[in-house]
Amino acid sequence: MPDTITKLTYQTFQHGKNYFGLAHKYLSSQIMSLVSPQMQRNYRPISPELLLKIQTRLNQLLEADWNDAEKGVYPHSLLFDNPWTDFFRYYPEVWLDMPQIWQRLNQKNYQDFSANVPKDGYPSYYLQNFHHQTNGYLSDLSANLYDLQVELLFGGSADPMRRRILAPLKENLKATGQVRILDVACGTGRTLKLLRNAFPQASLFGTDLSPAYLRKANQELSQIPGELPQLLQANAEELPYLDNYFHAITCVFLFHELPAAARQNVIDQCFRVVQPGGVFVICDSIQMSDSPEMLPVMDSFHETFHEPYYKHYITDDLGQRLEKAGFEDISEQVHFMSKYLIARKPAQ
């Protein structure tokens, strides 16, 4: 990316994505009001004061994103990395999938899977239509639409929020030689792609429960330079790695989709497989403890987007769970609609 890129160029690019996301949500809301007036009446409007706070938080996120690129945490080119091919290919399919989503919403049918989708071997809490997605996380269509749907939900800010894990990793990774980093619940590989750009020489690993999402991740990651990350289908509650194997572990947007016991199990597993002195970085939704002013958004999120474990998540003490597993030096950050916990395993 040429040196002539300016902060204004980046801000214009990001705000353009944000406005498109807002336009998409407005249009879908208007159509929903025609399709199902009762369902539309259940949605609570956000006050102008809260909208202003949300915009301020978005601006602060973009400022942090630009500053990290200026500091060399990652290349400026990453600021403009957008899955345009997927956008033009799959955006029409987002709309084609809407009638099924609205039907599930009307019928409150949250465990709706096609007969040809294998469901054996998954924990029961995973067999959900998270975000009202057709076939949950178990179809190629879901994997193809996921990143686009998340970008529309967050107005183009999903990747800037994901990138906030990179600076803490660079600050905490002191290992020399070959660094091994594991991304738990890697999904379509967006976080692994960011890690490859920030740590070009690292050995990257990823696990996910969904074969469809791992296929998508392999497809996307095979197109970027560097060693291909090693991906495995695995439950994060039973990570298939040796004790003390990784220098760092990341986990992005997983914990709000887990019941409480599973959250602790995942944290315990991450403690087991990270090296003494290694770092564990979590990125997930904001919580009541750090963003009480965002309660109107958090309070309706679980119902609007079918997140069955979210309401408990926003009051859960993740720091306490990390301490229970054995982590120390736990710190927290908040950027826009996401919260970050950075924890270290005690050095021997």
334, β-bridge pairs: 339
Q: Among residues 311, 318, 310, which one has the least CA distance to residue 334?
A: 318
Please tell me the pTM assigned to this model.
0.94
Tell me the helices (H) and strands (E) count for the chain, helix number first: 13, 7
- Percent of residues, the chain, with pLDDT higher than 70: 94
Task: Average the pLDDT over 220-249 and give the result.
Answer: 95
Which one is predicted more confidently, 1 or 50?
50
Q: How far is it, in rounded angstroms, from Cα 287 to Cα 317?
A: 9
Place 1 in a pLDDT band, splitting at 50, 70 and 90: very low
Residue of 81, 278, 279 whose CA lies nearest to 196: 81
Tell me the pLDDT band of 88, cut-offs 50, 70 and 90.
confident
In sequence order, what are the residues at sequence separation of 6 or more whose Cβ sits closer than 8 angstroms to the Cβ of residue 124?
A: none
Q: What is the mean pLDDT of the chain?
A: 91
**What is the model's pLDDT at position 176?**
57
195 Cβ contact partners less than 8 Å away, ≥ 6 residues apart: 166, 169, 181, 183, 202, 204, 250
**Distance separating alpha carbons of residues 293 and 275, to the nearest angstrom:** 37
- Give 177's pLDDT tier (boundaries 50, 70, 90): low
Domains of the chain and CATH, by start: 159-344 (3.40.50.150)
- Residue 312: is its pLDDT beyond 60? yes
Question: Is residue 260 within 8 Å of 191, Cβ to Cβ?
Answer: no
Q: Does residue 227 contact residue 192 with C-beta atoms inside 8 Å?
A: no
Residue 316: pLDDT band with limits 50, 70, 90? very high
Residue type for position 144:
N
- pLDDT in the model for residue 2: 43
CB contact at 8 A, 284 and 253: yes
Element housing 274 (H / E): strand 274-285
| Percentage of the chain lying above the pLDDT 90 cut | 72
Quick check: 303 pLDDT over 90?
Answer: no
The span from the CA of 166 to the CA of 261, in Å, is 28
CB 107 within 8 A of CB 196: no
